[in-house]
């Protein structure tokens, strides 16, 4: 598999504020790559560095085999980006914004734009200042997808979208990826990562804490234990040898017990708690 | 690049129209008033010319206000000079900063266009708007002269309008460099710079010690009274203005091409 995104030792400082430090990870062709982390973890800084919106201090970013600084224009030709705050020129009509995005790319995207507007139920004759955040997000999706790029970059794409549109959005992503595209998306919504992403990077305090397959991350030795011991209900995350747990439970009155895989949310939280304890 | 240029013109045409109507319209009305004021102006001309430093500052010692050229230089010239400079400052001070102020930078600069190209397109749009503004005003003034049927030194008039374009471009370049630095729209700073330069020019014309520093300001080579009375421009001041113009654009390109853009 080719690496579509290769980030090596990316470091960016904002004076006294922390940016990102020594960030390294790769996104492979055909991936739907989840980029997880709490607010201020450095997700947007990483994405904005990739797009050339901010100048990073050290490290390297290669996208589709090209250097993000030297070949920025060429990279952006084959990239569709959707920012977390989908903002456009308020006095413009939706159709003019979509047309402008296509014209700058020197592409005729009419057919694809029409298809996307239909599926996402975008009213092209409305003015931008008449749109809610969700509707602006939909316009942003059309702008990011209409030229059928090789790489999608989404910063918190589903915030503001209703559940039906969220599903439609991921359906579109799956279709484009099936046709050979690659997608990287930053999100807080763990269920989205579990449901749609195959690989994930977890960021915390400006550093990458883990990059792995979603399936591998969820396959952990920790188990969620729910039981009724000596008439008292208990619910906890157990990490260790199950034989030890059995031994501990012997001699107690266990009226009910359920042992299950922890959710991605729990694994994610565990990561953070561990880090805090360290 | 062409798309961004067209986009900027689309965004700016209302602004251009409003400023054009206000400045051009006011000046046009002022020109038409000349015939009704001509007689009384003859009586006032002498007293206007003998007000010492005040007369000098407004060029009333060089031209008689009782003639159309003198009236134009002292009355219409002031409106057009100040109005045109303010228009140039308004459009250029927000030209770059509006992308971050309106949170549209993530849309525009993630399209496949380099910052250098976007900067060029935006500057060309500023230049086009300034040209259109002055062209519109020139047409209105010529119509005014035709209605009046008075004789106006045309070569001097066109030279004055040409220098107005140059002066507005110089001020626009200074404000464009400021726009590259600011992350928020700072319209007040642009307008403040215009008023500061204008006040500097008036003071430099009145205070004899400042005479040799007059050419530092952009208003020095675009003064209506100077041009209409002599038919010449202050070459040194104009060259200095051209240097400031180029410097403003270089600073804008250098700063904007390297700095982090806010979301």
Q: What DSSP string describes chain A?
A: --EEEEEEEEEEEETTEEEEEEEEEEEETT-EEEEE--TTSSHHHHHHHHTTSS--SEEEEEETTEETTTTHHHHHHTEEEE-SS----TTSBHHHHHHHHHHHTT---HHHHHHHHHHHT--TTSBGGG--HHHHHHHHHHHHHTT--SEEEEESTTTT--HHHHHHHHHHHHHHHHTT-EEEEEES-HHHHHHH-SEEEEEETTEEEEEEEHHHHH--S-EEEEEEETTEEEEEEE-S-HHHHHHHHTTS-EEEEEEEPPPHHHHHHHHHHHHHH-
When pLDDT is cut at 50, 70 and 90, the band that residue B248 belongs to is: very high
Inter-chain residue contact A105 with B7, CB threshold 8 Å: no
CA distance B260 to A48: 9
For residue A76, the chain B residues in CB contact (below 8 A) are 110-113
Over residues B37-57, mean pLDDT: 68
When pLDDT is cut at 50, 70 and 90, the band that residue B143 belongs to is: very high
A87's CB contacts (< 8 A; 6+ apart) are A136, B102, B103, B104, B106, B107
Identify the DSSP state of B214: G
Residue A1: predicted pLDDT:
65
Out of A89, A105, A140, name the one closest to residue B111 (CB).
Answer: A105
Inter-chain residue contact A104 with B3, CB threshold 8 Å: yes
Out of A48, A81, A104, name the one closest to residue B113 (CB).
Answer: A104
Is B151 part of the contact surface with chain A (CB cutoff 8 Å)? no
Question: Residue A278 pLDDT more than 70?
Answer: no
A63's CB contacts (< 8 A; 6+ apart) are A4, A5, A6, A50, A75, A79, A151
When pLDDT is cut at 50, 70 and 90, the band that residue B249 belongs to is: very high
Inter-chain residue contact A83 with B113, CB threshold 8 Å: no
**Residues A117, A165 contacting (CB under 8 angstroms):** no
For residue A81, the chain B residues in CB contact (below 8 A) are 106, 110
Interface mutation target, options A104, A144, A147, chain B, most CBs of B under 10 Å: A104
CA distance B153 to B151: 7
Q: Which residue of A has its CA nearest to B106?
A: A83
Interface mutation target, options B15, B103, B104, chain A, most CBs of A under 10 Å: B104
Helices (H) and strands (E) in chain B, counts: 12, 0
Over residues A12-19, mean pLDDT: 85
Question: Residue A189 pLDDT more than 90?
Answer: no
Inter-chain residue contact B104 with A72, CB threshold 8 Å: no
When pLDDT is cut at 50, 70 and 90, the band that residue B204 belongs to is: confident
When pLDDT is cut at 50, 70 and 90, the band that residue B19 belongs to is: very high
Out of A77, A83, A104, name the one closest to residue B263 (CB).
Answer: A83
CA distance B161 to B169: 12
Is B47 part of the contact surface with chain A (CB cutoff 8 Å)? no
Helix (H) or strand (E) holding B107: helix B105-108
CA distance B219 to B237: 9
For residue B261, the chain A residues in CB contact (below 8 A) are 53-54
Over residues A259-269, mean pLDDT: 73
What percent of chain B has pLDDT above 90?
Answer: 62
Over residues A30-51, mean pLDDT: 91
Interface mutation target, options B2, B105, B110, chain A, most CBs of A under 10 Å: B110
Is B257 part of the contact surface with chain A (CB cutoff 8 Å)? no
Question: Residue A226 pLDDT more than 60?
Answer: yes
Out of B4, B114, B260, name the one closest to residue A72 (CB).
Answer: B114
The 10s digit of each residue's pLDDT in B156-175 is 999 999 999 999 999 999 99
Residue A275: predicted pLDDT:
55
φ, ψ (nearest 5 deg) of residue A229: -110, 125
Residue A160: predicted pLDDT:
87
Question: Residue B210 pLDDT more than 80?
Answer: no
When pLDDT is cut at 50, 70 and 90, the band that residue A173 belongs to is: very high
Find the Cα–Cα–Cα–Cα dihedral B235, B239, B240, B244, rounded to 10°: 150
Residue A14: predicted pLDDT:
87
How far does B128 lie from chain A, in Å, by closest CA? 20
Over residues A227-249, mean pLDDT: 87
Q: Which residue of B has its CA nearest to A81?
A: B110
Residue B205: predicted pLDDT:
81
Over residues A192-203, mean pLDDT: 89
Is A108 part of the contact surface with chain B (CB cutoff 8 Å)? no
Over residues A167-176, mean pLDDT: 94
Residue A41: predicted pLDDT:
87
Residue B54: predicted pLDDT:
64
Inter-chain residue contact A87 with B107, CB threshold 8 Å: yes
Question: Residue A85 pLDDT more than 90?
Answer: no
DSSP B47-80: HHHTSTHHHHHTTTTTS-TTSHHHHIIIIIHHHH
For residue B259, the chain A residues in CB contact (below 8 A) are 55
Q: Which residue of A has its CA nearest to B261?
A: A53
**Residues A180, A188 contacting (CB under 8 angstroms):** no
Interface mutation target, options B185, B255, B263, chain A, most CBs of A under 10 Å: B263
Q: Domains of chain B: which residue ranges?
A: 2-258
Residue B55: predicted pLDDT:
67
Question: Residue B98 pLDDT more than 80?
Answer: yes
Inter-chain residue contact B110 with A88, CB threshold 8 Å: no
Question: Residue B37 pLDDT more than 60?
Answer: yes
Core vs surface per residue B100-130: b (16+ CB within 10 A) or e: bbbebbbbbbbbbbebebbbbbbbbbbbebb
The chain-wide mean pLDDT, for chain A, equals: 89
Range 9-38 of B in CB contact (< 8 A) with A:
11
When pLDDT is cut at 50, 70 and 90, the band that residue A199 belongs to is: very high
CA distance A121 to A112: 14
**Residues A32, A119 contacting (CB under 8 angstroms):** no
Question: Residue A154 pLDDT more than 60?
Answer: yes
Inter-chain residue contact A44 with B111, CB threshold 8 Å: no
Is B254 part of the contact surface with chain A (CB cutoff 8 Å)? no
What count of CB pairs under 8 Å joins A to B?
64
Is B102 part of the contact surface with chain A (CB cutoff 8 Å)? yes
Question: Residue B192 pLDDT more than 80?
Answer: yes
Find the Cα–Cα–Cα–Cα dihedral B194, B197, B199, B202, rounded to 10°: -130
Range 132-161 of A in CB contact (< 8 A) with B:
140, 143
Identify which of B83, B74, B191, B190 has the alpha carbon closest to the alpha carbon of residue B136.
Answer: B83
Average the pLDDT over each of A17-31, B37-51, B106-120 and give the range with the smallest value.
Answer: B37-51
Residue B160: predicted pLDDT:
95
Inter-chain residue contact A83 with B112, CB threshold 8 Å: no
Question: Residue B118 pLDDT more than 60?
Answer: yes
What the block records as the tokens of B91 is: 């459009």
Question: Residue A271 pLDDT more than 70?
Answer: no
The 10s digit of each residue's pLDDT in A116-153 is 999 999 999 999 999 999 999 999 999 999 999 999 99
What percent of chain B has pLDDT above 70?
Answer: 91
Q: What is the interface pTM, i.e. ipTM, of the complex?
A: 0.81
Is B105 part of the contact surface with chain A (CB cutoff 8 Å)? yes
When pLDDT is cut at 50, 70 and 90, the band that residue B85 belongs to is: very high
């Amino acid at each position: 598999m080719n690496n579509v995104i290769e980030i090596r030792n990316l470091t960016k400082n904002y004076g006294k504020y922390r940016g990102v430090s020594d960030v390294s990870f790769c996104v492979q062709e055909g991936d739907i790559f989840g980029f997880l982390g709490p607010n201020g973890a450095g997700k947007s800084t990483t994405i904005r560095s990739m797009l050339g919106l901010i100048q990073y201090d050290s490290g390297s970013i290669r996208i589709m085999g090209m250097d993000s600084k030297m070949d920025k224009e060429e990279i952006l030709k084959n990239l569709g980006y959707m920012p977390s705050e989908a903002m456009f020129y308020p006095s413009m009509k939706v159709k003019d914004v979509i047309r402008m995005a296509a014209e700058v790319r020197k592409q005729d995207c009419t057919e694809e734009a029409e298809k996307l507007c239909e599926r996402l139920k975008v009213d092209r004759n409305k003015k931008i200042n008449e749109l809610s955040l969700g509707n602006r997000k939909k316009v942003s999706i059309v702008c990011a997808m209409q030229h059928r790029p090789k790489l999608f970059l989404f910063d918190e794409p589903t915030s503001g979208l209703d559940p039906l549109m969220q599903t439609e959005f991921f359906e579109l992503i799956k279709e484009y990826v099936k046709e050979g595209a690659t997608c990287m998306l930053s999100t807080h919504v763990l269920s989205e990562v579990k449901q749609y992403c195959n690989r994930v990077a977890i960021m915390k305090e400006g550093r990458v804490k883990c990059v792995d397959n979603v399936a591998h991350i969820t396959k952990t030795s920790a188990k969620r234990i729910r039981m009724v011991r000596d008439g008292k209900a208990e619910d906890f995350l157990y990490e260790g040898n199950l034989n030890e747990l059995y031994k501990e439970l012997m001699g107690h009155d266990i009226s009910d017990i359920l042992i299950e895989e922890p959710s991605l949310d729990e694994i994610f939280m565990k990561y953070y708690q561990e880090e805090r304890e360290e | 690049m062409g798309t961004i240029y067209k986009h900027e013109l689309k965004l700016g045409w209302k602004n251009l129209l409003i400023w054009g109507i206000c400045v051009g319209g006011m000046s046009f009305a002022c020109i038409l008033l000349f015939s009704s004021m001509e007689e009384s102006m003859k009586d006032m001309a002498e007293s206007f010319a003998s007000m010492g430093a005040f007369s000098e500052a407004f060029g009333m010692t060089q031209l008689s206000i009782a003639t159309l050229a003198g009236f134009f230089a002292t009355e219409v010239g002031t409106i057009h000079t100040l109005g045109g400079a303010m228009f140039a400052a308004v459009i250029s001070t927000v030209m770059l900063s509006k992308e971050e102020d309106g949170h549209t930078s993530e849309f525009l600069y993630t399209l496949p266009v380099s910052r250098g190209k976007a900067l060029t397109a935006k500057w060309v749009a500023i230049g086009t708007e300034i040209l259109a503004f002055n062209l519109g005003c020139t047409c209105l003034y010529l119509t005014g002269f035709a209605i009046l049927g008075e004789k106006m030194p045309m070569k001097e008039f066109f030279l004055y309008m040409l220098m107005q374009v140059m002066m507005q471009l110089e001020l626009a370049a200074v404000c464009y460099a400021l726009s590259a630095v600011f992350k928020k729209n700072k319209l007040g700073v642009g307008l403040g710079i215009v008023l500061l330069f204008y006040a500097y020019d008036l003071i430099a014309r009145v205070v004899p010690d400042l005479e040799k520093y007059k050419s530092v300001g952009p208003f020095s080579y675009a003064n209506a009274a100077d041009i209409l009375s002599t038919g010449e421009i202050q070459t040194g001041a104009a060259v200095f203005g051209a240097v400031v113009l180029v410097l403003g654009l270089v600073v804008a390109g250098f700063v904007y091409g390297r700095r982090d853009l806010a979301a």
